[in-house]
Amino acid sequence: MKIIHSIPEMQQEALEQKKQGKVVGLVPTMGYFHEGHTSLMQIGREQADYLVISLFVNPLQFGPSEDFDTYPRDFERDKKLARKYEADCIFNPSRKDMYPASPLTRVKVHKLDRYLCGRSRPGHFEGVTTIVAKLYNIILPDLAIFGLKDYQQYIIIKQMTEELHYPIKVIAGPTIREEDGLAMSSRNKNLSSEERQAAPLLYRGLQNARQQFLNGEKDVEKLLNTLRDSLHQSPLYRIDYLAVVDGQKLYPKKHAQRGDVIAAAVFLGKTRLIDKIILE
């Protein structure tokens, strides 16, 4: 497995692979791998001839009071896991090379970033789409794989890829959960043991709300109250948002229908958790 830090070297390597007719796959990550990441690597390994894992904690997608500094990092462990899942290459650029200065060129997908995390984290998705566009331009992938746990991110990146005419197939990977239902996330490491114990209430609440929907309840306030009741079983939760949104356009709904998504962002202590469930 190659480890490439330099942007021109990565571009050269990608061009070389494509010249040989290889299908190049990309799994973009910010590292600190868990089974959510390795499941994306497995999809990439099955569908691509040459699999690149990018590993870069992207400062542009963190707000000034967010957790860029405490975001977990462990490059040695990540290297071992990428090797185990048979990646061909890790692309790990430096911050200085990716952003020699605060970038004047940024990619923004309008409208889809108005709701959910876009509302509570202004500038976040612009940071994500800017870095993903840069990674596309450097790695020239034929396919790129993103986890559905970050549902809004997936929808926004799909839109950007289509509208900027990148010849790239965007593939969605499933949300991978711990046995008690907590969606895997690098940030889970920052939960205290008390917070970790309370964390499954989020998914349980989403499941209860979905069940209520399947039993015939369409009123969004009632569905969200069910989710709230679950979170209120612990005093540790601070709610950022709870919403039912259209599954494609992401605008908030008053009456739920199949294909909509119940989405939540909460804080347990300083750790922000997001999760969602699709009404299907």
Single residue of 32, 36, 52, 58 touching ligand PAF by CB under 6 A: 58
**For ligand PAF, which stretch binds (CB under 6 A), given 26-34, 74-82, 83-91, 270-278?**
26-34
Contact flag: residue 155 with ligand PAF (CB under 6 A): no
Residue 1 beta carbon to ligand PAF: minimum distance, rounded to whole angstroms: 19
Q: Which amino acid is at 58?
A: N
Nearest C-alpha neighbor of 155 from the set 248, 246, 278: 248
CA 30, 32, 34 angle in degrees (round to 5)? 110
Please give the residues from 87 up to 126 whose contact with ligand PAF meets the rule CB under 6 A.
none
**37 counts as catalytic:** yes
| Contacts of ligand PAF in 60-79 (CB under 6 A) | 61
Q: Please select the residue that binds ligand PAF; options are 26, 30, 43, 242, rule is CB under 6 A.
A: 30
Which residues, in sequence order, are CB contacts of 60 under 8 Å at separation 6+?
A: 99, 103, 106, 123, 126, 127, 130, 131
- Nearest 5°: phi and psi at 109? -100, 115
Cα 70 to the center of its chain, rounded Å: 18
Query: Which x/- pattern, by CB under 6 A, does the window 128-147 give for ligand PAF?
Result: x--xx---------------
Out of 150, 195, 260, 275, the residue judged to bind ligand PAF by CB under 6 A: 150
The amino acid that residue 146 corresponds to is: F
Nearer to ligand PAF, 32 or 115 (CB): 32
CB of 27 to ligand PAF, least distance (A): 9
Q: What CA–CA distance (Å, rounded) separates 87 from 247?
A: 32
Catalytic residue among 37, 110, 124, 232: 37
Between residues 136 and 213, which has the closer beta carbon with respect to ligand PAF?
Answer: 136
Give the number of other Cβ atoms within 10 Å of residue 70's Cβ: 12
Residues 221-250 that bind ligand PAF (CB under 6 A): none
Of 24-32, 70-78, 81-89, 112-120, which segment contacts ligand PAF by CB under 6 A?
24-32
Count of positions (residues) in the chain: 280
Cα separation, 179 vs 50, whole angstroms = 32
Of 272, 249, 274, which Cα lies nearest the Cα of 259? Answer: 249
153 or 226, CB closer to ligand PAF? Answer: 153
- Of the candidate spans 127-135, 174-182, 244-252, 254-262, the one that interacts with ligand PAF by CB under 6 A turns out to be 127-135
Name the burial class of residue 259, with classes exposed (0-12), middle (13-18) and buried (19+) by CB atoms within 10 angstroms of its CB. Answer: exposed
Instruction: Decide: 168 and 161 in contact? Cβ < 8 Å.
Output: yes
Q: What residues make contact with ligand PAF under the rule CB under 6 A?
A: 28-30, 58, 61, 128, 131-132, 150, 153
Query: Which residues have a catalytic role annotated?
Result: 37
